[in-house]
Amino acid sequence: MDKFMYTVAAAVFTLASVVKSDDVMGCGGFIRSSVKINYSRVEVKLLTRQGSHKYQTEGAPNNGYYLIPLYDRGDYTLRVDPPPGWVFEPPSVDLHIDGTTDPCSTAKDINFVFKGFSILGKVVSAGAEEGPAGVTVELQDAQGKTLQKTQSGAGGAYSFARILPGDYSLLASHPAWTLGRAKTTVKVTDDNGSPAEHLVVAGYDVRGEVFGEGEPIRGVHFVLASPPALEGCEAAVPKGFALPPGLRFLCQVTSGEDGQFVFPAVPPGAYRLLPFYKAQRIEFDIAPRHASFALSHAGHRFPKKFQVQGFSVSGKVRVSEGGPGVAQAEVFLGSSRVATTDATGTFHLENMKAGQYVLHVKAPGMTFDPFPVRVSPSTPELPSVLAAQFEVCGSIEGAGRRIVVEGAGRDPSTVVADSAGRFLHEPPTGPLRPAAVRRPRGGGVRPALWCPARLPLEVPRGSPAAEPPSPASGPRCGVKCRASGGARVRGRGLRCLCGAEGGAESLSAEVQPDGSFHSCGPGGGPVQGSGWDRPEWCWEHDKGGRLHTVDAAVSSVTLRQTGFRATLVSSHATRVEALHPEDGALNLEVPKGSSQHCLPKRGLYTVRPVGCHEFREKDLRFDTARPSVVTLTVARLSVGGVVITEENVTDLALTATVAGSGAPMRVVPSAPVKHAGDKFLYRFRLMLVPGTSVELVPRSARLLFSPPVLRVAAGDDCAEEAARFEGRIGLFVDGRGAPPVGGVRVVVRDLAGRPARGGDGVGRQRSSSWLGRWTPSPSTMCSVLATKEGYVLRPLDKLGHFEAFKYAEVRVSVTGGDQKEPLPGVLVSLSGAADYRNHSRTREDGRLRFPNLSPGNYFLRPMLKEYRFSPASKMLTVGEGAVLDVDIAGERVAFSCLGWTTSVTGEAEPGVSLEALGAGACAGHQEEAVSDQEGRFRLRGLLPNCAYRLQLKPGAANPHIERAEPPLRHLSVVNSDLTDVRVIVFRYFNQMDITGRVLTDAKHLPNLKVRVTADDAPEQTLHTIPLGPGGFFLLPPMTRDGRTYCLQLEGGVGGGGSGGTCFRANASHRHVTLRHAPELPPHPEHEVAPRSSLLVLPLTVVVLLAGYYSSRLLAWGADLAQAVRGLLRHLGGGAKGGGEAGSGGSPQDARRSKAKARRT
């Protein structure tokens, strides 16, 4: 009986382990195969619909189980990624994760079934590692039956898929090429099959043809040459043929009667084909002179015919007789360039006919006289062409400058530069020294300094060592700078470095009363402050005292002060506000330690801490005129918590006892708010000294709390939910377990299986007995169920007493960081015998237990995004009743960006899809997140030392959101999480308002109307709107559908001149202006005197006010008219009727009283 209960309980707990992880959203399943494969080589990847990689894992080696954690809902693709050649069905599964009905949320397995391996091979060319495309390859089984047929692709590769283990043969064929090896075998076992030998193609054909004057030429030799030596081709070299250096002769063929030639079998490689046709002493030119080609894995046919043309002659261009050759000189016949000299000055004239020619040569820096020459087949080499004269040219800064050219043994000569500073001189051969003439001192003008002062050069004499002419240059030193920034800098010194640092010339400059100074000229060195006594200033482009770098001749450089430095030293990272009397508040992010900040204005700032810290310093001020260090020392910080109850109670309070303090404090939480349906949430907060601990005890007459006591330590920073209590209403009951086992969970239910009101009754066993509290059911009859992970507890006859049986279990401890701190929230997957799988998260202490395990082999794998674990996975062998401890170390390799999405009013915006796109070296990396119901989001997996662009996810991901502000936010991840990132979004408004005004003479406004049509249906009028006062108009609200609409004026007189415009309905509002300028008749009586338009706006305002206050104006008018009539009667009739008026009042008075009563 006990053995039966043991077996049944094991099955029940195994099933419970599978269903246990409802709080963990993940996608799992098995990699199935009917043949033996290595499951660990098969990866399963989770991708977004855009292809962004989210997570990947491999199958467990014992049973192929896999699990992928999910952190966000949305649309994904689950794809199996096996080794190349392995075939699975389905290859991928599209998922819509909604948290309720999808396979992952309902814990359904998503399986991938193995269908077979692949045979991967190549058809190669002889002596090569790759081969041609287009070779037919057949796959045959052991009986010779053809199973599949394919053709080789790029590089000769071919493949056959869905192949089960066995022996196979491969046969190759091609209609034109000769195969060296046409058959091979392959054996497939537990991986892709590779043929024992490659299928080989022996060689390919090379074809072409030669013509002359349109006719095929017979007897032309074609020599095949190549840099490497090849075997199997021993034909003789044609007589009189000289092989160019660097090539090796392979073989040669001769064209036939039809001019065709062919090399029948040429292996792959790089070749050069050289045509050769010689008769007696003349070698005829064939175009092209040579043809380079490469055979990869196919035949080759020259697309163009070889043509027999004229003969060739050679010549040389020299500096002087016996001197060196002139490279890159251009040789012309008439106006056509026919050749360019090589490095030795040699040139070749091809396709020449016999006759007299005149050569013209052009080369930079020298000139040549026309060179007549006679060309004939008997003179294959021409005389040398010599340079006639040389040019020495250069440039200098400024126009009209004089350059003195000195030479050995000759008088100096002077050259004057043109308006652009360029000069040209034609000296004789020999050494020269051009030098710029310096302006003498005097008249308050600083002398110019020229760089270089002299430029020696050598005009070629005809010797091989002669140097080509070099240009002369002369940049002038001197730059004028101006210091600005709203502060006086008179008398302050600057130091300028001319040239590279280390060997630069240092000049000093004195700042003038107007803020200007003169410094040295361009030299690549920086302009830097020297001896300035204002270290509290902020400067633009300030790099350690170097304010500006001048690397060219400029007229002025501005050194701009941007503010005043303020030094803050804080014991904690915090935020402060710097308040200026004239400029409002400036938010500053203050890191821990010393930091400097730039304040934009001069004056006295009040520094006010913002956040959850309480500082010792109470009155913090900073004066830019007398700067001092602002010190922030945290005295206390905020530590908070929550209490969640099942009922709203009024006597809830907490007793807080600070360690080292004798008197406890009474903490009253805030007013409750609804939480998780029918529960209530209370918040409380304490201000504690960092490093101190406090013991919290919640108390209420009706509630029992879990935990009853909690000790919280104040860390180095604030914590809003450092403590969490749950309160329930309960009574007491006791029981006993045999043998004694601690930590038993006891649940009390009524006979219908319903838990007690307010939740399950839960107790914890101590030693051999247990004591619990719960809310009793209306009936006095109840049942007690005791559970403990790793045990089966069988009830005994006495209620509340159990008999315990222990199972095997695996206990996991996960730590992270250098201090080996517990790592909570790690998803640990355990899979093993009989399709057992369980996945759960580690607790706050980094520990996790897998109880209720039957004997067998299990595969353990920890998972947590942003972490790498060691070991990454582990195989475990579990015996009956055994307890295995597994220690896992985690290393953080990525970080998160935490924030919230709100509207511009601060309300939370749920369901907003965001993405972070990597930039720079991290381009291509993408992470996504969707804000929850409170607007919070978390972008996980951001790589350290990477920059990202945070933006709304484009496309259909945010149909309810129009834009974000700012639309793009730059994030920089170093080695920590980014927090408090707020993204302001604007919802899509599907209505567009159009306002406008018509500019025209006021007399035309009553006759004008605005007609609205759609651009794609101009004949259909959507609206016709009359103009309001002043020509203003407002269209009825239009749908924001992206269509194009047009406005046109109607009703004008005088023909033409009525304006119109079109717009696209893609914004929430648009204002348009239309102009109406009708043509007036040319008759004098119709001329309209010009009148000022300055009265239009005030008249419009008066009319609008009159319409708005029309009722009051009518009443006031009636009163005024009655008063005038009464005054007239009094003047006309004297005191007549005065007694009546005094006693009862006139009827007019009565009407006036009624009129006054009607005023509003």
pLDDT of the residue at 660: 77
pLDDT class of 498 with cuts at 50, 70, 90: very low
**CA angle in degrees (0–180, nearest 5) for 417-418-423:** 45
**What is the C-alpha separation between 197 and 121, in angstroms, rounded?**
9
pLDDT band at 81 (very low <50, low <70, confident <90, very high): very high
Q: pLDDT value at position 5?
A: 44
Q: What pLDDT score does 505 carry?
A: 43
% the chain with pLDDT above 70: 73
Among 504, 518, 596, residue whose Cα is nearest residue 557: 518
pLDDT at residue 754 in the model = 58
Residue 509 confidence (pLDDT): 55
What pLDDT does residue 609 have?
82
327 contacts 318 by C-beta, under 8 angstroms: no
pLDDT of residue 537: 79
Residues 6 or more apart whose CB falls under 8 angstroms from that of 839 comprise: 21, 24, 26, 28, 67, 827, 828, 829, 830
Mean pLDDT of 91-110: 91
Q: What is the mean pLDDT of residues 521-550?
A: 57
Output 558 or 692, whichever has higher pLDDT: 692
Three-state SS at 272:
strand
| Least-confidence region, from 209-218, 301-310, 411-420, 1096-1105 | 1096-1105
Residue 860 near residue 895 (C-beta atoms within 8 A):
no
Structure tokens at 1053: 């007189």
Q: How confident is the model at residue 9 (pLDDT cuts 50, 70, 90)?
A: very low
pLDDT at 126: 86
Question: Across residues 491-501, what is the average pLDDT?
Answer: 46
Q: How far is residue 396's CA from residue 453's CA, in Å, rounded to a whole number? A: 11
Q: What is the pLDDT of residue 437?
A: 58
The arithmetic mean of pLDDT across residues 110-136, rounded, is 92
Cβ pair 468, 390 in contact under 8 A: no
Q: What is the pLDDT of residue 234?
A: 47
69 contacts: CB under 8 Å, gap ≥ 6: 24, 25, 26, 55, 827, 863, 864, 865
Whether 139 contacts 162, CB under 8 Å: no
pLDDT band at 722 (very low <50, low <70, confident <90, very high): confident
Interior angle at CA 569, CA 567 and CA 575, nearest 5? 90
pLDDT at residue 405 is higher than 80: no
Question: For the residues 1018-1037, what does the mean pLDDT come to?
Answer: 90
- Helix and strand counts by DSSP (H, E) for the chain: 5, 95
**Per-residue pLDDT at 159:** 94
Cβ count near 759 (within 10 Å): 16
Confidence of residue 495 (pLDDT cuts 50, 70, 90): low
* pLDDT value of residue 283: 67
Portion of the chain with pLDDT greater than 90, in percent = 27
- What is the predicted pLDDT for the residue at 741? 76
pLDDT score for 913: 92
Q: Which of 554-558, 643-647, 872-876, 986-990 is predicted least confidently? A: 554-558
Q: What is the pLDDT of residue 870?
A: 94
Torsion over CA: 229, 232, 233, 234 (sign): positive
Q: Is the pLDDT of residue 886 over 60?
A: yes
- Tens of pLDDT along 205-217? 778 898 876 778 7
The pLDDT assigned to 834 comes to: 66
* Whether the predicted model's global pTM rises above the 0.75 cut: no
pLDDT at 477: 38
Cis peptide before 195 (omega within 30 of 0): no
Please indicate whether residue 747 or residue 386 has the higher confidence score (pLDDT).
386
Distance in angstroms (rounded) separating the CA atoms of residues 43 and 57: 5
Looking at residue 512, its pLDDT comes to 60
> What's the average model confidence in pLDDT over 469-494?
41
Round the CA-based radius of gyration of the chain to a whole number and report it: 48
- Does 464 have pLDDT greater than 60? no
Residue 716: per-residue pLDDT:
81
pLDDT band at 78 (very low <50, low <70, confident <90, very high): very high
For residue 228, pLDDT beyond 60: no
Backbone angles phi, psi at 7, to 5 degrees: -70, -45
- The answer to whether residues 561 and 537 touch, using CB atoms and an 8 Å cutoff, is yes
Rounded mean pLDDT of 478-499? 43
Q: Taking all residues of the chain, what is their mean pLDDT, rounded to a whole number?
A: 77
β-pairing, 719-728 vs 634-645, is parallel
Average pLDDT over residues 509-522: 54
| Residue position matching structure tokens 């997996």 | 941
Q: What pLDDT does residue 1126 have? A: 56
Distances (CA, A) of 493 to 516, 518, 525, 532: 11, 11, 17, 6
- Answer yes or no: is pLDDT of 883 > 60: yes
Q: Which pLDDT value is given to residue 1152?
A: 40
593-597 average pLDDT score: 87
Closest CA to 912 of 983, 991, 989, 990: 983
The stretch 42-52 carries a mean pLDDT of 88
> Cβ neighbours of residue 245 under 8 Å, at least 6 residues apart?
none
Say how far apart CA 482 and CA 501 lie, in whole Å.
Answer: 23
Look up residue 1145 and give its two tokens.
């009042």
CA distances 254 to 4, 211, 286, Å, are 97, 13, 14
Q: Which residue has the higher pLDDT, 36 or 833?
A: 36
Contact (Cβ atoms closer than 8 angstroms) between residue 967 and residue 952: yes
Q: Measure the N-to-C terminal CA separation of the chain; round to a whole number of Å.
A: 96
Q: How far is CA 645 from CA 366, 666, 719, 746, 759, in A?
A: 100, 19, 21, 21, 11
Query: Token pair of 111, please?
Result: 């399986």
Query: What is the model's pLDDT at position 1113?
Result: 59
4 or 113: which leads in pLDDT: 113
Q: How far is the C-alpha of 726 from the C-alpha of 643, rounded, in Å?
A: 6
Residue-by-residue DSSP string for 776-791: PPSSS-EEEEEE-TTE
Task: Look at residue 753 in the predicted model and tell me its pLDDT.
Answer: 59
1110-1133 helix and 1096-1108 helix, angle to the nearest 10 degrees: 80
Q: Is the pLDDT of residue 497 over 50?
A: no
* Cα 519–chain centre separation: 44
If DSSP states are collapsed to H, E and C, what string results for 496-535? Answer: EEECCCCCCEEEEEECCCCCEEEECCCCCCEEEECCCCCC
Beta carbons within 8 Å of 231's beta carbon, 6+ residues apart: none
**Phi, psi (degrees; rounded to nearest 5) at 975:** -145, 35
Q: Which residue has the higher pLDDT, 811 or 744?
A: 811
- Residue 803 is predicted with a pLDDT of 81
Report which of residues 499 and 972 the model is more confident about.
972
379 has a pLDDT exceeding 70: no
What local confidence, expressed as pLDDT, does residue 982 receive? 95
Q: Which pLDDT value is given to residue 1139?
A: 38
Single out the residue of 150, 272, 251 nearest to residue 199, CA to CA. Answer: 150
Whole-number pLDDT of residue 227: 61
Q: Which of 380, 374, 381 is CA-nearest to residue 359?
A: 374
pLDDT beyond 80 at 202: yes
What pLDDT, on a 0 to 100 scale, did the predictor assign at position 28? 92
Confidence band of 491 (pLDDT split at 50, 70, 90): very low
Burial (0-12, 13-18, 19+ Cβ within 10 Å), 268: buried
CA dist., res. 1086 & res. 625, Å (int)? 73
**Residues 6+ positions from 712 with CB-CB distance below 8 Å:** 639, 641, 693, 694, 696, 722, 723
Average pLDDT of 730-749? 70
Residue 305 amino acid letter: K
In angstroms, rounded to a whole number, what is the distance separating the alpha carbons of residues 723 and 708? 12
Which helix (H) or strand (E) segment holds residue 97: the answer is strand 92-97
pLDDT (0 to 100) of residue 1106: 60
How far apart are alpha carbons 655 and 52 in whole angstroms? 51
Element (H or E) spanning 2, and its range? helix 2-19
Residues 912, 896: Cα–Cα separation, whole Å: 17
Biggest CA-to-CA distance, the chain: 156
**Model confidence pLDDT, tens digit, residues 18-36:** 333 334 578 999 999 989 9
The residues near 594 (Cβ < 8 Å, ≥ 6 apart) are 567, 568, 569
